[in-house]
Amino acid sequence: MCECCGNGQKDIYLPQMATITKHRMLNGTEFYMHLELDSGKELGHTPGQFVEVSIAGLGEAPISISSSPTQKGFELVVRNVGSLTKAIHKLTAGQKVGIRGPFGSVYPVELAKGRDLVFICGGIGLVPQRSFIRYVLDNRKDYGKVTVLVGTKCYDMRLFREELAMWQERKDMTLMETVDESHDCWDGNVGVVTTLIPKIESDLPKSLVLVCGPPVMYKFVLMALSEAEAPAKNIYVNLERRMKCGVGKCGHCQINNLYVCQDGPVFRWSDLTAVPEAI
């Protein structure tokens, strides 16, 4: 079957097939996959975008892309929360899924050039942020100081542990990590991710700040950034948690006149301050 409409454009409703090349569990609930499109083409995404992942007969779900477009193939992290994601967790290398996309708005890759960047990641919010972080590290000379804050509910839920350890050793970026609850194997910072904000050495009022995490995190992070005099126009938030169909048809992600899957999931915070229930 052709995957193009009559006008020569790719059919947004028709999945492409992709093959899993690598997979592993990152913790007790998050399943990592590296995939390649069966067409041999690259996905062609920009950091911040997502894809719809499907298994025939079970349905599909929006999943943030976690890898940089500078690498071969693409990476997804899937949390086990229902029948579809449970089935995805059982897949192995060589098996296939359907992929629609990429969809959605993107991180300010060009606007950020020459600027200091601060990434604030709460829990699984590290997954979409990692796409931009890795892109910046692959184009390091184009960007200013890079600071990454990672907060996780507990030690056992931490994601990409080996990669975080490598970021910790790099001289061209700053990584600060915290866990909400103390643990015998953890000798780092204990507390929510906002406790790290006062430790940022970049000039926050002049930096671009990228925020992604669970809903409860946004209110307190945005309050802390306001106290640090970070302008709303310099803050970008990722609202990927609200999406469903990916193409603005189901209305699941609608916030007043906005559709997160089309107008987002990446928003400039100053564009949302007048939108009730956005955060």
Alpha-carbon distance 63 to 84, whole Å? Answer: 12
Name every residue whose Cβ is closer than 8 Å to that of residue 52 and which is 6 or more positions away in sequence.
Answer: 15, 60, 61, 62, 63, 98, 99, 100, 101, 103, 245, 246
Say if residues 172 and 140 touch (Cβ distance below 8 Å).
yes
Alpha-carbon distance 222 to 47, whole Å? Answer: 22
Alpha-carbon distance 182 to 229, whole Å? Answer: 30
Q: What is the pLDDT of residue 255?
A: 75
Where does 117-271 sit in CATH, by number?
3.40.50.80
Q: What is the pLDDT of residue 247?
A: 72
Alpha-carbon distance 100 to 181, whole Å? Answer: 38
Domain(s) labelled CATH 3.40.50.80 in the chain stretch across: 117-271
Q: What is the pLDDT of residue 257?
A: 75
Say if residues 178 and 189 touch (Cβ distance below 8 Å).
yes
Residue given tokens 């349905």 in the structure block: 59
Q: What is the pLDDT of residue 1?
A: 36
Say if residues 118 and 237 touch (Cβ distance below 8 Å).
no
Alpha-carbon distance 19 to 34, whole Å? Answer: 9
Alpha-carbon distance 195 to 173, whole Å? Answer: 19
Say if residues 236 and 132 touch (Cβ distance below 8 Å).
no
Beta bridge partner(s), residue 176: 149
Name every residue whose Cβ is closer than 8 Å to that of residue 260 and which is 6 or more positions away in sequence.
Answer: 239, 240, 242, 243, 253, 254
Q: What is the pLDDT of residue 279?
A: 67
Q: How many CA atoms lie within 13 A of 267 on its CB side?
A: 23
Say if residues 168 and 115 touch (Cβ distance below 8 Å).
no
Count how many residues are written for the chain.
Answer: 279
Tens-of-pLDDT digits for all 279 residues of the chain? 344 444 445 688 899 999 999 999 999 999 999 999 999 999 999 999 999 999 999 999 999 999 999 999 999 999 999 999 999 999 999 999 999 999 999 999 999 999 999 999 999 999 999 999 999 999 999 999 999 999 999 999 999 999 999 999 999 999 999 999 999 989 889 999 999 999 999 899 999 999 999 989 999 999 999 999 999 999 999 987 666 677 777 777 777 777 787 888 999 999 988 776 666
* Consecutive H or E run containing 16: strand 16-25
Instruction: Write the secondary structure of 43-110 as one string of H (helix), E (strand) and C (coil).
Output: CCCCCCCEEEEEECCCEEEEEEECCCCCCCCEEEEEECCCHHHHHHHCCCCCCEEEEEEEECCCCCCC
Domain(s) labelled CATH 2.40.30.10 in the chain stretch across: 16-103
Amino acid at 268: R
Question: What kind of fold does domain 16-103 have according to CATH?
Answer: Elongation Factor Tu (Ef-tu); domain 3 (2.40.30)
